[in-house]
Amino acid sequence: MNARKFHKKSIMVEKTPHILVIDDDWMNREVIEAHLQIEKYAVTTTSSGSEGLKMAFATPPDLVILDAMLPDISGFEVCQRLKNHAATRIVPVMMVTALESDEDKQKGLESGADDFLTKPFSFILLLTRVRTLIRLKRLQENLRDSYALLERLLNRPIDAEIIQKTLNNDQP
């Protein structure tokens, strides 16, 4: 079910956030998927980094939950490719992995991950971080849309009479 936000002059329908889970362990995928679906997220899963990239590029999700250790392409490489692709550049990536050293965390964040969670983890913590990353993505999308609108408005020809009236109103 989609959440709806009502504004004075228009109705804006906010879509259900879509999360892509990429993890080679079937049990991890199913448990994460079940917890996310309880929270009303749309979830797609895959066990392969290359398949995850294809899915993300075809239909960019609102968030990617990504294991670092995948059989075909490392999660670090998947993350770099997502962050370097125009369609998925702003999609937040949360690495959820058994790797726990500071070097692994640094590698994950340097590859472009927005968050790093070590397995085993608390689902309350996972869900809190998911909500935060999706909220930040929505804010970034709103900012991008506002910037595009402002750019369109500023690039429109302005009537000379409007310019003159504006200049006259600004003078004491």
* Cα 41 to Cα 5: distance, rounded to the nearest angstrom: 17
Q: Which of 72, 67, 66 is nearest to 92 (CA)?
A: 66
Residue pointed to by tokens 């990536």: 93
Average pLDDT, the chain: 87
Evaluate if residue 20 carries a pLDDT over 70.
yes
Peptide bond into 120 cis (omega under 30): yes
Residue 170's pLDDT is 56
Of 10-24, 39-53, 80-94, 129-143, the poorest mean pLDDT is in: 10-24
Tens of pLDDT, residues 91-117: 999 999 998 899 998 999 999 999 999
Evaluate if residue 166 carries a pLDDT over 90.
no
* Cα 52 to Cα 134: distance, rounded to the nearest angstrom: 19
Residue 103's pLDDT is 93
Residue pointed to by tokens 């709806």: 4
Evaluate whether the domain defined by 3-168 bears CATH number 3.40.50.2300: yes
**Cα separation values, 156 from 35, 149, 166, Å:** 48, 11, 16
- The 3-class SS string of 26-90 reads HHHHHHHHHHHHHCCCEEEEECCHHHHHHHHHHCCCCEEEECCCCCCCCHHHHHHHHHHCCCCCC
Residue 163's pLDDT is 66
* Cα 22 to Cα 53: distance, rounded to the nearest angstrom: 9
pTM reported for the whole predicted model: 0.79
Mean predicted confidence (pLDDT) in 66-93: 96
Domain segments of the chain as ranges: 3-168
